[in-house]
Structure 1
Amino acid sequence: MIIMITMITLGLTGFTGPQNAIAAWGDSVSSMPGNFTHLAAEARPGVVNIRTVKTVRDGGRVFQHFFGQPFRGQDPFRDFFGPFFGEGPAREFKQRSLGSGFIIDRHGYIVTNNHVIKDADQIKVKLANEKEFDAEVVGRDPNTDLALIKISVSEDLTPLKLGNSDKLAVGSWVVAIGSPFGLEQTVTAGIVSAKGR
């Protein structure tokens, strides 16, 4: 899920004693947001659902694509049964995947994860208003697992504003909005537990 971050600094300071600790904690609790409904409603039009289809050729090894090679290149099953059954015919099948993304430009540029669109034959983007579009890959970076895709639209879209990660601090509130496992427009919140990982 692509994460949209909102930084709500709690302003916790060093504790010098029990009374100061209680006062500092009490102040920060009162400054915590009551809920994230406004943020979720505001961000909703900028969050998209992405569906992809790609053709996978398995070379007769249907499950290896999903599970890799658990025996580090050796295959005891194939070693034992291979001489009796052979390799089997190469097969093709369609693999479907789901992901999330967010609009960064009113003309249809969308950021998503590279693993969502990698080797896809078809990319479909569904907006919050339920409209669907075909997308094309503009660029991708496997090292950061980010990709830029574009949809052609006749109307202006609502982009989300990118934040500055340098301003993020351990303990800052973060909100994630996306479509994990196809559950569209899911919202969750938490805090930054660590940086630089």
Structure 2
Amino acid sequence: MRKTANLFVIALFSGAITLGAYKLLFENDANISFEKEETPFVNTSLATSAKGAGINEVDFTIAAEKTVNAVVHVKNMTLSKGSPFGSFLFGYEASPRPQLGTGSGVIISPDGYIVTNNHVIERSQELEVTLNNNKTYKAEIIGADANTDIALLKINAEETLPYLAFGDSDDTKIGEWVLAVGNPFNLTSTVTAGIVSAKARSISSRSSQSFIQTDAAVNPGNSGGALVNTNGDLIGINTAITSQTGSYVGYSFAVPSNIANKIVNDLLEFGNVQKGILGIRGGDITPGLMEEVGIEVSAGVYVGFVEEETGAYEAGIKEGDVITMVDDIKVTKFSELTGYLSAKRPGDKVKVGVIRNGETKEIPVVLKKRLTDILPIMGLTVKNLSKEDQKRYGTKKGVKIVSVPEFYKDYGLENKVIVEVYDDEIEDIDKARSVFGKISKYDRISLTTLNEKGERERLIFR
């Protein structure tokens, strides 16, 4: 009996505890309040630029309207030479066949000057330009530069033409919105948008050319078209893509407007490109180079050699210097230096900032004309004539061959002076490079040379 009573008391006590817990935790749930706690969010938005940073804030329509009517379609009619195997195997040479190439161009003046790529118009027998209003004109080549891939055309129109003014490509910022306008795949004016992915981009180990890289879609036919910012300023001429398929895969490249503008002015004023050189050979700073030469500077251009009779030599730039600035523009790699200097002419003055033995120096340099150059196609190294050379060879015009690649060693070209290529008179290495830049690897090359006795000789290479 006592055991039963004890169990009853325990059960009663347990029930009371359970009932109390239920009342406390559940029935009074509506009266429970939680202290409000602010979530510690971090504001990651960036201040918008004057041109607008967000995709929803950028208005592309004004820039597109300003650009499409100034971008033209360029048709290049060439004649193929046919296969050389016909002549070799069957004793006859195939007759030339017409071939049509297309690209784009940008009107840069109301009277019809048009800038495009050299590769769009090279080897042309006939050029035709179609405006955005479908009017068509014959075009004349004013000049071209194969090194920068820029060419200048002229059309004669009755009316004043819409045109784009060159902007300042040095002011372009990485991440800035841009539009690419051209005629891809033979379509009429097409506008694509992207951002500036990189500046001073070099895409070939054989060239020091400096490009603006964007992710605006560019395809075959866009070459020579406009790259503009959201204000409609012309900041580049679309030139190339990197692709294993031949079509756009996310990278496109444009010649900066400052370089294109300088090339155009040179072609108009001088008929060829006036290139001012610093006179150094060097390269980017790498960890291996830092360890090899014992320098602590991690970015800039290492000066490995200074050419005699150049502005750098006369100003006192020395081997082992590291160039980090030019005219208050920061230099972190070789393509940035060459890109800036590409917009300069002989006689221009620049301030070069160097680090030497841990000390920073600012050295004024007067740029000079290039004294030596390697000509395209044949690979001949040539130099301008010195006063002694002019007296020895009896000419004030021409370029002296100072080095010959192995393929041409047996032709006795070394130390001869090239005075004509085809019927073009060669005044200096600038003209020589321009003429050789227009020669295809399939063309035969006709050279007129002088030896030290002043005797002329005509050589034809196939």
Please tell me the TM-score bracket, short chain as reference: 0.7 to 0.9
1:146 matched residue in structure 2: 150
1:19 aligned partner, one-letter code: V
1:196 matched residue in structure 2: 200
Q: Say which of 118, 129, 140 aligns to 1:136.
A: 140
2:46 matches 1:24 = yes
1:15-61 C-alpha deviation (Å, 9 max, x unpaired):
xx96232x32789427731x422221221211100111011102435
1:188 aligned partner, one-letter code: T
2:167 aligned partner, one-letter code: G
2:81 matches 1:57 = yes
Q: Say which of 79, 89, 92 aligns to 1:89.
A: 92
1:125 and 1:163 map into 2 onto residues whose CA distance is: 24
Decide whether aligned partners of structure 1 residues 32 and 57 sit closer, same or farther in structure 2, where only a CA change above 3 A counts.
Answer: same
2:192 matches 1:169 = no
Decide whether aligned partners of structure 1 residues 180 and 30 sit closer, same or farther in structure 2, where only a CA change above 3 A counts.
Answer: closer
Answer whether contact 1:103 1:109 (CA < 8 A) is retained: yes
Tell me the CA shift for residue 88 of structure 1.
Answer: 6.1
1:61 and 1:162 map into 2 onto residues whose CA distance is: 47
Alignment of 1:1-150 (within 5 A): 19-21=42-44, 23-24=45-46, 28-29=53-54, 32-33=57-58, 35-61=59-85, 86=89, 89-91=92-94, 92-150=96-154
Answer whether contact 1:60 1:89 (CA < 8 A) is retained: no
Answer whether contact 1:110 1:150 (CA < 8 A) is retained: yes
Give the SS at the match of 1:157. Answer: coil
Aligned length: 157
1:141 and 1:18 map into 2 onto residues whose CA distance is: 55
1:80-139 C-alpha deviation (Å, 9 max, x unpaired):
xx8xxx256322111110000010010000001100100100000001111000000001
Q: What percentage of aligned pairs have identical amino acids?
A: 40
2:54 and 2:41 map into 1 onto residues whose CA distance is: 16
Alignment RMSD: 2.4
Tell me the CA shift for residue 169 of structure 1.
Answer: 1.2
Which structure 1 residue ranges, 5 or more long, are not aligned?
1-16, 63-81
Structure of larger gyration radius: 2
2:150 aligned partner, one-letter code: L
TM-score by length of 2: 0.32
2:90 and 2:57 map into 1 onto residues whose CA distance is: 61
Decide whether aligned partners of structure 1 residues 30 and 48 sit closer, same or farther in structure 2, where only a CA change above 3 A counts.
Answer: closer
Tell me the CA shift for residue 176 of structure 1.
Answer: 0.5
1:30 and 1:41 map into 2 onto residues whose CA distance is: 18
1:157 matched residue in structure 2: 161
Decide whether aligned partners of structure 1 residues 164 and 57 sit closer, same or farther in structure 2, where only a CA change above 3 A counts.
Answer: same
Give the SS at the match of 1:51. Answer: strand
Tell me the CA shift for residue 153 of structure 1.
Answer: 1.1
Answer whether contact 1:59 1:89 (CA < 8 A) is retained: no
Answer whether contact 1:48 1:178 (CA < 8 A) is retained: yes
2:236 matched residue in structure 1: none
TM-score by length of 1: 0.72
Decide whether aligned partners of structure 1 residues 130 and 192 sit closer, same or farther in structure 2, where only a CA change above 3 A counts.
Answer: same
Decide whether aligned partners of structure 1 residues 130 and 61 sit closer, same or farther in structure 2, where only a CA change above 3 A counts.
Answer: farther
